[in-house]
Structures are given as C-alpha cells and as structure tokens.
Structure 1
Amino acid sequence: MAVTTGKSFVGRFGVHIAVLIFVAIWTVPTLGILVSSLRDKDQIIASGWWNSFASSSQTEAGRLPPASVQVEKDGKFVLEGNIFGDGAARDISAFGVKSAAPTQYPAGTTAELGDGVTLQLNADGGFVMTSPKAFEGARGQRVYYASSAPPKFTSDNYKTVLFSEGIGRSFMNSLTVTIPATVIPILIAAFAAYALAWMRFPGRALLIAVIIGLLVVPLQMSLIPLLKLYNGVGSFFGVPSKTYLGIWLAHTGFGLPFAIYLLRSYIAGLPREIMESARIDGASDFEIFVKIVLPLSFPVLASFAIFQFLWVWNDLLVAMVFLGTEGDQIVLTAKLNALLGSRGGDWEILTTSAFVTIIVPLIVFFSLQRYFVRGLLAGSVKGG
C-alpha cells in the first residue's frame, strides 16, 4: 500500500510540475507583451521588458549649442548649458566625441580635444566647453554619451493605436464577425445534435458518418469551392460578394462538423430516464430540447463557444477571402498584419496592437473556463 501511495504522489507531483511549466510558457510571453505595450518607445529599444522596472542604459548622441551663443570669460571662449534640453531626468556615466569611442571619458572629467579645447560633461547633463580661440560654425560639437533613465510607463501607446492607427475600427469589425459566427453554429449544431442523438429517422447513421468525415477536411481545400458557391448564389440573388453575411456563413460551415460531433457526444450521454419521463408527461421533442437538454448541455456549449470564438477571432485567411481589406471591413488580425509591414520598427505600436488583439479571447476564456474541462470530458467519455 505504501508503494502505491508513493507512486500516486509522484504522479500527482509530476502532473503539477507539467501544468506549471505549460502555464509559464503561455503566461510569460503574454506578460511581456502587456509590459512592453505600456513602456516608453526609447526604453523598448534600449532594453527587454524584463528590465522595465529598472533604470535603462543606452548610448545617445547630441549636439552642443552653436558658436553664436558663446561667451568670453577670463580670456577664454566658453559654451555651457545642459545637453538635456527637454529636462529629462537621466544620469550620464561616460561621454565621448567620436562614434567609435562614445564612452571614452567618465562623466565629470575634463576631456582634452586638441588645440587647447576642453570639454567637461557632468552626470546631470551640464557641460562646459572652453577654447582659447573663438568657436566657429553654425553647428555645435557632436557629443556621444551613455545615460540611464528611470522606468517610464505610459498609456499614450493605447491612445495612438485605438484612435490613430485604425485599430479601434478593426476591433469592432472583428466583434461584428466573431459574435454571430460563434452563435449561429451553436444554434444549428444544438438542434442537429439532439436529432442525431435521440431521434430515429432513415439515414441517421450515414449523416453521423458524413459529419465525422468532414472533421478531417482541410479548410484550405474547401475554401475556394465554398467561395465560388457563395459568389454564384449571391450573384443570382443580387447579393454583394464582400459582406458580413458571407463570412458568417463561411465560419458556420467550417465550424458545424466539430460542433455537431462534440454536442452529440454529450447529449447522447444524458440520462435516458429523463427523456422518457418527459415523453410520458406529454412533452414534445422541441419542449424536451428547450427545457431539459439545453440547460443540461451548458458546459459543452460553453466549451465549443470558446473554441469557435478563439478560432474566428484569430482567423486571417477566411476574413481576407470573404470580407476583404477595406478600411470599414478589415478585421483586427488583418490590420495587425498590415502594421507589421508598415510599422515594423515601432515596437510600442506592435506590442500594444498585439495585446489589444488577445485581451478579448482572454476575457472569454476566463469567463467560461469553469465549464471548459467539464464539457470536454463529459463529451469524450459519454456516447450513444
């Protein structure tokens, strides 16, 4: 008995470790996107998100004032001021006047630049440059320096993305596509699953076999035939090709086989005594379905809703084929794909857009996750 208990403990411990590993694999990148979306643009370039709560160090370049602002003191010509014209709170650790040696001199020391010219750059950005002869030129001396800045977080990235980059409109377009494309398959599949599970009619077994066969049909193989069929029917009735109705029907068709299979497996496992008692009391199939089957099937309905919502929300291919990429119809995934091409160097825009994209699926999943495992397990172990 002790050996069995030990094995059980080791097994449970291994499962917990595996779960923690998978949670970390998915949580850490999400946390990184969230933190990066709130960081300042310059700090994103300078350091990784894991250093976001510490001061960031980077090498920058600036110019001293032009010769026109020099003053003469004690027989020398002097330029002085602060290299941080914006008043930013940063600390300089070293400086230089050549790009090949940007940190040649420690901050606060006096650098000899030749011909009697000296430059002192302090940690707070204050500088003094002296010369025995008058400075010349309309542009000041270029100076390189290594500075550190305190952590800086901002919500401006979200304001830019939601109101300037068109992400807000694409966000609403994705909701317009996803919500009906999740609800419609559930409505159709629930009726079909009940009929295949509890109603007897000719060809029932054949229909079940066809549905199981459709589960393995690749989306890419059926996409073009489905598009041609939709365009043909649409042109016959005078319906435009690029409409929300088309993409709703497409996602419904692609999601129905799995929905019917999952719901039928669950509904077929419901207690037969409940159905027979309802029929003895005079209930019709529709009343049994609405008053008994649907309330008992909520866990599996929620499980499929999560699957369908995530798939439609993250879809790019079907949306581009059936909806297009116009400004008033482009979905969030297509808009983010366009930003990758046009704003590939603006990491603050990309990370903010990415987090806006994943926040809705996270909300949906955590809202329904208590039904998720229960619905899947019940549908997998029961059958009829």
Structure 2
Amino acid sequence: MENIAGKKPALLWVVHLCTAALVALWVLPTFGLLVSSFRTGDQISTSGWWRALSTQESQLPAIRLGGDEVQRDGVFVIEGNLFATSGAEISRWGTSSREPEAFEVGQSADLGDGVTLTVTPEGGFVMSSASSMAEMRMPRVFVTASTPPDFTTNNYSTVLFSPLAGQTIGQAFINTLTVAIPATIIPILVAAFAAYALAWMDFPGRALLVALVVGLLVVPLQLALIPLLQFHNWIGIGKGYLGIWMAHTGFGLPLAIYLLRNYMAGLPRDIIENARVDGATDFQIFVRIILPLSFPALASFAIFQFLWTWNDLLVALVFLGTGNDQQVLTGNLVNLMGSRGGDWEILSASAFVSIAVPLIVFFAMQKYLVRGLLAGSVK
C-alpha cells in the first residue's frame, strides 16, 4: 500500500525545503544588490543592506575639517558642518584614531597652540584661536553617530551618464545591446534551417553531420579564438561588430542546431507527411508548420545565447577591442572595479544595471525555456 499511485511521497517536505533554499540563495543576493545600489557610500561602508531601513549607530570614516576663517571680536573662527546632509546625530567624537570617542558632544577639545574645537550633536563644529589658523593643517574628526536610512538615485545617474575612469557605462550598455541582439538572432536563423534539414530531410552523410555537431559541443571556444581572428583579418573583417557577430554565431551554432534538431525530430511525423501529400514544399513545411511548432525551442536557445553574449568578456576583447567607443559592459565594469574599488555604491549600481536586462529576458521567456528543454522527454 506504500506505493499507491497518487500518494504524496513521505519526504515531500524535504523537496519543498530544498527548493525554498535554492530560491533564497538566488533571490537574496540580488535583492541585497538592488538595495545597496540605492544607498549612499557611507551607509554601505558602515552597515549591511539588511539594516537599510533602520537607524544605525556606528563610527563613521574620518572627516577632514574645512572652511573659511573669519575674525570675530579678536578671535579667529572656522565654522562648518561635518555632514553634507542633515539627519545624523553625534554621540561621541575624537580627533585621534586611537581615541575616536574621547569627547562628548558640546565638549571643547584642545588641539594645541591655543586652538579649540567644539562639535554639536547635529554635526556643526567651531574652531577658534587667538591667532590666525590659515597656515594650520586642518585636523580630522572621528565621530560615532546615529544615522537614519538614506536612499538616493544619484548612483544610477552617475553610472549611466557620468564618465567614470574616462568611460561611460551608458555607452557600454548600448555597445552590449548592439553585440547581443544580432548575435542572438543570426544563429537562430541559421540553426533553424540546419536543424530542419538534419531532422526531416534525407541526404547522404546526415548521420555524420549530426555526430560532428555533437562533437563540436565539447570543443573549448578558447582554442578557436586566435585562428578565427587571423581568418577574420585575412578576409578583411578584422575587429568590429561584424566580426564579433560572426564569432558568436560560430560558437553558438552547435548548441543551437543540437537543441533545435532534437525538438524538430520529436514533432509528429503525420503532420509533415500530410503536408507533403498536399503538395507543400520543404520550405513551406518549414515556414508554416515547423517554425510555429518549434517556438519553445527557439525561445530556449534565444535565452541561452542572449545571456551568454550579454555576459561575455573574452570574445568581446578579442574581436571587438578595448576602446571606449567599442567596449562592452563587462569590460567596462572590470575597469571600473580596478579604478573605483572603494566606491561600493557605484559598483552595486553598475552591477545591477548589467543584470537588469538578462533578468527581464529570463523572466519574460522562462516558460518557453522549460517547454523547450522538456521537449521530447515524454511521448
């Protein structure tokens, strides 16, 4: 009685738990990246994204004082505020990294040579001295403060429209679209014709061609990069968009032909034979019957190919170049991480910009991906 059909397995809860864990492993980092992309640099450096909605008390990075000196009643004074925006409330402060909480707010600190410094809870400071402080090196202040949640869209404005390290993410975004869209469409067009021929047309050497396609699936593309680039230079294509489109087409065709051929071979034979009896040509059968029925498989490969070309770095560096007007998004982000490794707010916004389009494509076509991958598994 334990194997009655329709009875739920005893360990079904384990399956649900594992599924929930896998979903959390993918969703939580993405959500954290999204939250971090809207936070300021100070907030990111002092707390995790899960504390973004709560007020936090932490020691902020050292702040160098600055301001214009004025003279009042024979005393030279420099006034200002430690924070660019209001909202933080200081509890303790200091002028040395060894004693960052040496003073309470409102308490005056002696900086030597008759110079005193006072800090208010709101971040205001007053430096005063009987003599001019024009030649004095301004001190640093270490503060422990409670800061409210702070969100901004300036990170995305900086990433998309402001040059970072001499480069513009917005231009790289357009370059990546210019590469990814044709490099997805061209292999589908070529592979669809080839897959139909290998699935439904009888000709000598068909089995050998199928075996060759399967063998090409395991060939590392790194082995073909330099020979293919030399061939492009020999025929006059060189480095450019046409060259990278052809390269991605060549690298993507084996998987496309294999996937589409297996799907088309599983279509009902009666439909094709009836069409031939009615006088339809192979081209008419392909366009009017095979392509509409093969849309799930076409969409499945389109997802794979688009994600691969969008996230590609190696092929783009070899066949497109490294100039600012040609660099794709992945190459631009690599340079950005090297030049602005401490600006986590910029890096998180850049990373989310780079994954936004693949996420949209995947969620919009995921049902076709599942149908295409499962095609032929059940007769």
Alignment length, in residue pairs?
A: 371
CA distance in 1, matches of 2:128, 2:334: 53
What's the counterpart of residue 336 of structure 2? 339
User: Which protein has the bigger helix share?
Assistant: 1
What is the letter of the counterpart of residue 257 of structure 1? Answer: P
Instruction: Give 1:45 shift.
Output: 2.1
Superimposed CA distance per residue, residues 16-75 of structure 1 (whole angstroms, 9 cap, x where no aligned partner): 222222211111221122111111122222222222222343334354878754547xxx
Instruction: Give 1:167 shift.
Output: 1.0
CA distance in 1, matches of 2:111, 2:162: 47
Instruction: Give 1:280 shift.
Output: 1.3
Alignment equivalent of 1:104, drawn from 91, 102, 105: 102
Alignment equivalent of 1:137, drawn from 116, 133, 137: 133
Q: Is it true that 1:277 corresponds to 2:303 in the alignment?
A: no
For residues 222 and 120 of structure 1, do their structure 2 counterparts lie closer, same or farther at Cα, with a shift above 3 Å needed?
Answer: closer
What's the counterpart of residue 177 of structure 1? 179
What's the counterpart of residue 193 of structure 2? 191
CA distance in 2, matches of 1:169, 1:115: 54
What's the counterpart of residue 59 of structure 2? 58
Larger deviation, residues 100-109 vs 311-320: 100-109
Q: Is it true that 1:330 corresponds to 2:336 in the alignment?
A: no
Q: State the identity as a percent.
A: 59
What's the counterpart of residue 348 of structure 1? 345
For residues 54 and 5 of structure 1, do their structure 2 counterparts lie closer, same or farther at Cα, with a shift above 3 Å needed?
Answer: farther
What is the letter of the counterpart of residue 87 of structure 2? Answer: A
What's the counterpart of residue 89 of structure 2? 91
Instruction: Give 1:354 shift.
Output: 1.0
SS at match of 2:151: coil
Instruction: Give 1:4 shift.
Output: 5.7
SS at match of 2:145: strand
What is the letter of the counterpart of residue 280 of structure 2? Answer: A
SS at match of 2:350: helix
Contact in 2 for aligned 1:303/1:372 (Cα 8 Å): yes
What is the letter of the counterpart of residue 18 of structure 1? Answer: C
**Can you give the 5+ residue segments of structure 2 that lack an aligned partner in the other structure?**
none
Contact in 1 for aligned 2:243/2:319 (Cα 8 Å): yes
What is the letter of the counterpart of residue 107 of structure 1? Answer: V
Instruction: Give 1:99 shift.
Output: 2.7
CA distance in 1, matches of 2:242, 2:297: 26
What is the letter of the counterpart of residue 268 of structure 1? Answer: A
Larger deviation, residues 296-305 vs 83-92: 83-92
Q: Is it true that 1:366 corresponds to 2:368 in the alignment?
A: no
For residues 152 and 145 of structure 1, do their structure 2 counterparts lie closer, same or farther at Cα, with a shift above 3 Å needed?
Answer: same
Contact in 1 for aligned 2:55/2:147 (Cα 8 Å): yes
For residues 4 and 240 of structure 1, do their structure 2 counterparts lie closer, same or farther at Cα, with a shift above 3 Å needed?
Answer: same
Instruction: Give 1:267 shift.
Output: 0.6
CA distance in 2, matches of 1:30, 1:274: 45
CA distance in 1, matches of 2:325, 2:6: 61
CA distance in 2, matches of 1:90, 1:206: 72
Contact in 2 for aligned 1:266/1:380 (Cα 8 Å): no
Instruction: Give 1:322 shift.
Output: 0.6
Alignment equivalent of 1:225, drawn from 219, 227, 234: 227
For residues 355 and 127 of structure 1, do their structure 2 counterparts lie closer, same or farther at Cα, with a shift above 3 Å needed?
Answer: closer
CA distance in 2, matches of 1:103, 1:360: 46
Contact in 2 for aligned 1:263/1:379 (Cα 8 Å): no
What is the letter of the counterpart of residue 186 of structure 1? Answer: I
What's the counterpart of residue 46 of structure 2? 46
Alignment equivalent of 2:375, drawn from 373, 378, 381: 378
For residues 127 and 207 of structure 1, do their structure 2 counterparts lie closer, same or farther at Cα, with a shift above 3 Å needed?
Answer: closer
> Normalization by structure 1: what TM-score?
0.87
Contact in 1 for aligned 2:83/2:123 (Cα 8 Å): no
SS at match of 1:94: strand
Contact in 2 for aligned 1:182/1:305 (Cα 8 Å): yes
What's the counterpart of residue 215 of structure 1? 217
What is the letter of the counterpart of residue 159 of structure 2? Answer: V
**Can you give the 5+ residue segments of structure 1 that lack an aligned partner in the other structure?**
none
Larger deviation, residues 221-230 vs 349-358: 221-230
SS at match of 1:213: helix
What's the counterpart of residue 124 of structure 1? 122
What's the counterpart of residue 161 of structure 2? 163
> Normalization by structure 2: what TM-score?
0.88
CA distance in 1, matches of 2:246, 2:128: 76
Give the aligned CA root-mean-square deviation in angstroms.
2.8
What's the counterpart of residue 245 of structure 2? 248
For residues 380 and 333 of structure 1, do their structure 2 counterparts lie closer, same or farther at Cα, with a shift above 3 Å needed?
Answer: farther
CA distance in 2, matches of 1:269, 1:5: 28
